[in-house]
Amino acid sequence: MLHDDPPFVLSVFSFNPAINNFLSLLLTVLNAILIQNLNLRFNILRKRSLLPFLIFLFLMAGWYPLHFIWELHLALSIFILAFYYFFDMYRQPAAVEQAFMGSFLIAVASLFLPPLLWMVPVVWINFLQMRAFTLRTFLASILGILSPWILYAGGYFVFQDNFDFNKLIFSRFFDGGKYDFSSFQSIDLIYFVSLAAVLLISIVYIYMNFQQDSISTRSKLNMIIIQMLFLLGISIFHASVFYCFLPFAVFFYVLLLSHPFSTRENNFFSILFLVFCLLNVAFVLFKIIA
């Protein structure tokens, strides 16, 4: 499933598999806590629930190949922190600090996975949705994006003898490779299609009951949905390393799933949640047995 040359620009340390696994475990727990706290701080769900925390751990535990790529989990931690700033911009046209810091953190995360920078134009669209788009916030966002890359390029120029700017940056943003889907088993396709079906049902429910959420929550849900769809589009154009985008997709996925699952308004979503759990358990067991 994994690619021999992950598109990381910044990979500081190289550890043995056991240490990589341990670091990934610690960062996964940290990310689950960050997602849970993000939900509690900005009231994304209508009711208080531990579901974002539990579903995130549930999904990440079952995706064994990602356990050894600690850089992805660290990048996800930084990526999640960016949304603490973006969500805090609601109806704040003077939120220059939030625009700068959110964009800065996405740029730092993109040092590990450069295609994440393609998410920034969608963030600017979300500024409009959050009623926080002004020339000042736009310029602050651009400065936030440029700062980490200028610092990194400067350090690279100073400490590296052969400065290849194309290899350093541009080649990482445009991946023309194709993923060999023949390595997928039927169970993999069934599993991911089933997850997509559960997500689609959740999004339909969210929009059918949109008026029950506050205006602020609606803006955040719209932002999450748009960001996830755009992220999936980016992963298609970087198909050879699509697995690198999975942890970031899970971040958005668990918030969208937790929204209907936490309402407990009818038995349908209780049954769907049980099916979701059984699906993941069956997938993990099949992988262990196979």
Alpha-carbon distance of 149 to 156, in angstroms, equals 10
pLDDT of residue 220 exceeding 80, the answer is yes
AA letter at 136: R
Asked if 249 and 232 touch (Cβ cutoff 8 Å), the reply is: yes
Measured CA to CA in angstroms, residue 255 lies from 39, 40, 110, 126, 167 at distances of 8, 11, 22, 17, 36
| pLDDT in the model for residue 188 | 80
- With H, G, I as helix, E, B as strand and everything else as coil, classify residue 44: coil
Give the pLDDT mean for 14-34: 87
pLDDT of residue 171 exceeding 80, the answer is no
| pLDDT in the model for residue 187 | 82
Give the pLDDT mean for 180-197: 78
Alpha-carbon distance of 187 to 280, in angstroms, equals 11
Share of residues in the chain with pLDDT > 90 (%): 43
Share the mean pLDDT of the chain: 84
| pLDDT in the model for residue 2 | 44
| pLDDT in the model for residue 18 | 82
The H or E element that residue 125 is part of is: helix 120-129
Which range scores top for mean pLDDT: 38-42, 89-93, 265-269? 38-42
59-63, 106-110, 145-149, 185-189: range with lowest mean pLDDT? 185-189
